[in-house]
Structure 1
Amino acid sequence: MGRNLGGYRMARPIGVDLFSGAGGMSLGFEQAGFDVVAAVEIDPVHAAVHKFNFPNCAIIPRSVRDVSGIEIRAAAGIGDRTVDVVLGGAPCQGFSLIGQRAIDDPRNSLVKDFVRLVRELDASYFVFENVKGLTVGRHRKFLFELIEEFEEIGYSVQRDWRVLNAADYGVPQDRQRLILMGAKRGRALPAYPKTIAERPTCQDALADLPNAEMFDLLLHADSVQTVALGKPSAYAEALRGLGNDSWGYGHPRIWDPSRLTSSARTEHTEISRRRFRETEQGRVEPISRLFKLPADGVSNTLRAGTDSSRGAFTSPRPIHYAYDRCVTVREMARLHGFPDWFRFNVTKWHGARQIGNSVPPPLARAVGSVVIAALGIPPTRPTEAMGLGEEKLLSMGNTEAAAYFEVQNPIGRRDKKSGARKRRQEETEASYALNRGMQHIDGVAS
């Protein structure tokens, strides 16, 4: 099998995740047969959660602007081994004046850093994901410029790029993302993954979970011991680690399946509960503007909410189809395709952001599967289970997480009087990390 390196066996292809967040892309590519050996994430709270769920992956809690390919290799302990894939989605924020290239706009420097790191790591493949708004109108110009950047450094790119809907890849959620794939010139380009025939529903995702409001402890904690799980659907069975293919080609985790996690309760007023009850499934409640899940349909796109730099500390969570409350973070995770062993920050705000910011793992797995097929490497199943990280990583706020990683907190402080502050240039990426799930590109939303 080869020697052990950084906690992983050498036989599996390896990847590097840029702008990794809590790890949706990392998990999907792991389930497809890759070992993601390094991840770069500027938000220290996200980095802490990634470290908990992927303890053998080197997490680099810095901006991609300040990281080199050499540093990534050193952190991962991979020496000069071939990096098979670099994956991630950089923020695209600026569109320049006529006669100028949009990709050269300083506000898009993080996209150029993605290209730079693909080159410095000399990756065999790359996967760039972003908002579907990049594919329409004048924004297509930016996309073509990005493709030209990759071609100039020696990569062939799928010019018939596609917007993929997670609902077509086994996720009970309508979520569309641009997926751009490229291969080092001379290598086979991956084909886009085929869709699956049946979409799981919200009921498939949530019906076996106990109602969090049964547990008073969840008013003060995010987890509780329970044996009250119901009979799972095929979809829920896989997320509970019960199905034959529940781990895919990923590393099985050592976890406690009898513990309901990421399920802190929300205390709603009776007025809100009445409005929630009166709202029809599949409709938006007019006061809160929250979407009520349809039991037999899929969720709307789960969003990360407004970031902390704008003074709001809410993450919009849809209304449960069966209960007069918003869904819990665990229920959001089920709607996103995260398995039950995967943990998030214990606060509802951070936890919901980490889900809303992420690529659904089943969609990432589908993309990873076509990349590994293009590599010509048969995926292998790990034989040993992997432990999870320290629980304290899940309860850290920005200040504590920054201190843990010995980095500066990238989220600036607001003025105490007005709440306003000036945004530093380096905060572009931090804000994106906070709010990746609700992107706008010059007026075009995700």
Structure 2
Amino acid sequence: MTKFTFADLFSGCGGLSLGLTLAGLKGRFAIERDEMAFRTFASNMLERKTARRFEWPRWLEQKAWDIEELLNLHLADFRALRGQIDILAGGPPCQGFSFAGRRNEDDPRNLLFKKYVEMVQALQPQAIVIENVPGMRVVHARRNVVDLQNPNRESQKLSFYDKLVESLSEAGYAVDAKLLDSSAYGVPQKRSRLIVIGVRKDLCEWLDGGISRVFRLLESARVGQLKELGLPEVVTAADALSDLEITGRTLRPTTDPECPKRYLEASYDGPATPYQELMNFGHEGPMDSMRLARHRDDVRERFGKILAECRRGVRMNDASRKTYNLKKHRIFPMAGDDPAPTVTTLPDDILHYSEPRILTVREYARLQSFPDWFHFKGKYTTGGKLRTKECPRYTQVGNAVPPLLARAIGKALQSMLAEVSAANDRFDRTSLSGEPALAVG
């Protein structure tokens, strides 16, 4: 099969890129503005001497880039890559769309999809794929604002997804989107995301069913992936994390060179479930990002009571939070026999299913389906005003596309492009044989 290529915009630490390379696609370049996230990406996708390494353009410096600056400096260079990038992938920042935080129509990050469209116009790939939160399809409501001349004006507003579809259509792409739950793809996490796929209109005519063909191929890829990787229909939190539990294991100072030795981590004895074996395959040396939170005794006691008394697998309600004197609005006591709730960028959103503590970065990564050999760089957390400027490890993992979901998407796109190529070849052979290219009646 032809080795199709891709580029990744807003790549973060590399979850989408990793999944696409695991599907057999070849990476060319990736753009990420945060230095910590790009350090993680480069460490795993550029510096490791494996078949997953990118064929990076020589003129493009391997560093954290702001996409606006990049387009200003290298627009002509990107145009020169036309015909060399088959798929343009990306996950523009979603904080302004997300229901987990404050939805803000004027959040400047919402407009980064325009930069994505500019790159589409420059590269003109065969296909595009965008991952975002479901809220991208929901119109932002401006409360307490009424247009007296047109009281129904609010209902006429477009969501950012609608605007994206309009822009991509003008650029020559047919677009479709579906809400997908990562837990259906072998990811031990209930994570619903909007997957947007576009195909150049001149290629869609070769697909049986047009653009909708891609999502039929994606369902086939999903079924095939579970079978190929030996995974059940549902991977639970305990399936993913039981080998990382600390009860009965030796605690020692962290082995992470970027972390103070006052933090502890647990020894690792090896995988115990098919999912853990899959994640641990290819890993060598000490486990990365195993640092345990330093909870006070009263905090551990409170967490223990929550695990003993509260319903698992659902967010704590107002009454429960008041009972335990909790000010946070989003706290999930995890259930071990179900997939985990959606991993966010805040480490104290989720409590371990059997131990009175929050999760480690490595446990976050397991729930996202990052393999154990994938190492994370930079600070573990940040706070205050820096939260909007930095992307520490918990944030990198929480923002990432689960690699196993991305792998299935990559398999479907690869199959789709192969079908288009085969249809074109058949058309060319028929034309050269002198027979009519299109049969009539």
Q: TM-score, normalised by structure 2?
A: 0.68
Task: Specify which of 355, 361, 368 is matched with residue 397 of structure 2.
Answer: 355
Higher relative contact order (CA 8 A, sep 6+): 1
Distance in structure 1 (CA, Å) of the matches to 2:68 and 2:168: 18
Please say if 1:214 is aligned against 2:230. no
CA 217–15 in structure 1, closer or farther in 2 if over 3 Å, else same? same
Q: For the residues of structure 2 that align with 1:346 and 1:105, how far apart are their CA atoms? A: 26
Q: 2:269 corresponds to which residue? A: 229
The match for 2:150 is: none
Q: What are the ranges of 5 or more consecutive residues in structure 2 without an aligned counterpart?
A: 47-52, 57-61, 98-103, 140-154, 224-231, 382-391, 421-441
Contact kept, 8 Å, 1:103 with 1:142, in 2: the verdict is no
Superposition deviation, residue 214 in structure 1? 2.7
Indicate the residue corresponding to 1:420 in structure 2.
Answer: none
Q: Residues 263 and 292 of structure 2 are in contact (CA less than 8 Å); yes or no, is this contact kept in structure 1? A: no
Q: Identify the residue that residue 8 of structure 1 maps to in structure 2.
A: none
Structure 1 position 230, deviation (Å)? 4.0
The more displaced of 193-202 and 180-189 is 193-202
| In 1, Cα distance between equivalents of 2:251 and 2:95 | 44
The 1:92–1:216 alpha-carbon spacing in structure 2 relative to 1, beyond 3 Å, is closer
Q: Name the CA shift for 1:149/1:262 in 2 (closer, same or farther; >3 Å).
A: same
SS in 1 for 2:195: strand
Q: Measure, in 2, the Cα distance between the counterparts of 1:53 and 1:229.
A: 24
The residue that corresponds to 2:69 in the other structure is 66
Q: Are 1:375 and 2:377 an aligned pair?
A: no
In structure 1, the partner of 2:190 is 174
Q: 1:44 to 1:105 in 2, by over 3 A?
A: closer
Tell me whether 1:291 sits opposite 2:307 in the alignment.
no
Aligned pairs (5 A) from 1:23-422: 23-55=14-46, 56-57=53-54, 58=56, 59-68=62-71, 71=74, 81-91=83-93, 108-137=110-139, 141-158=159-176, 161-187=177-203, 188=207, 189=211, 190-192=213-215, 193-194=218-219, 195=222, 198-209=233-244, 211=246, 214-218=250-254, 220=260, 228-241=268-281, 256=284, 258-280=285-307, 281-283=312-314, 284=316, 286=321, 287=326, 289-305=330-346, 315-345=347-377, 347-349=379-381, 350-376=392-418
State the structure with more CA Rg: 2
Compared CA separation, residues 372 and 223, structure 1 to 2 (3 A): farther
Larger helix share, 1 or 2: 2
Q: Which residue of 2 aligns with 1:16?
A: 7
Quote how far apart the aligned CAs of 1:229 are: 2.1
Q: CA deviation at 1:153?
A: 1.3
Following superposition, the deviation at residue 215 of structure 1 comes to: 2.3
Return the alpha-carbon distance in structure 2 between the equivalents of residues 225 and 269 of structure 1: 16
Q: 1:325 to 1:224 in 2, by over 3 A?
A: closer
**Aligned residue pair count:** 338
Deviation at residue 135 of structure 1 after TM alignment? 2.3
Structure 2 counterpart of 1:238, one-letter code:
L
RMSD over equivalenced CA pairs, Å: 3.4
DSSP-derived class of the 2:342 partner = coil
Greater mean deviation of Cα atoms: 296-305 or 273-282: 273-282
Q: Which one-letter code corresponds to 1:71 in the other structure?
A: H
**8 Å Cα contact 1:262/1:346 also seen in 2:** no
Q: Once the two structures are superposed, what CA deviation does each residue of 1:355-381 show, in whole Å capped at 9, x if it has no partner?
A: 001111111111111111111089xxx
Deviations 1:202-261 (CA, angstroms, capped at 9, x unpaired): 01001122529732212835999997424421111111117xxxxxxxxxxxx51x4121
CA contact (8 A) 1:239 1:334 kept: yes
Does structure 2 conserve the Cα–Cα contact (< 8 Å) formed by 1:207 and 1:230? no
CA separation of 1:73 and 1:127: change in aligned 2, threshold 3 A: farther
Letter in 2 for 1:352: Y
Q: SS of the counterpart of 1:207?
A: helix
Amino acid at match of 1:156: A
What residue identity is the alignment partner of 1:85? I
Task: Give me the whole-angstrom Cα distance separating, in 1, the residues matched to 2:66 and 2:161.
Answer: 23
| TM-score, structure 1 as length reference | 0.68
The Cα of 1:304 is off from its aligned counterpart by 1.1
Counterparts in 2 of 1:228 and 1:147: CA distance versus 1, 3 Å? closer
- List gaps (5 residues or longer) in structure 1: 2-10, 96-101, 243-254, 306-314, 379-446
Q: Secondary structure at the match of 2:194?
A: strand
CA distance in 2 between counterparts of 1:69 and 1:25 reads 25
Q: Deviations over 1:107-162 (max 9, x none)?
A: 7542111011011012111001211012235675432232121111111212xx21
Listed one character per residue, the Cα deviations across residues 75-94 of structure 1 (whole Å, up to 9, x for unaligned) are 9xx95652011111224688
1:290 deviates by 3.0
| Amino acid aligned to 1:282 | G
Confirm or deny: 8 A CA contact 2:67 2:115 kept in the other structure.
yes
CA 318–91 in structure 1, closer or farther in 2 if over 3 Å, else same:
closer
CA distance, structure 2, for counterparts of residue 54 and residue 222 of structure 1: 31
Q: Distance in 2 between matches of 1:185 and 1:17?
A: 21
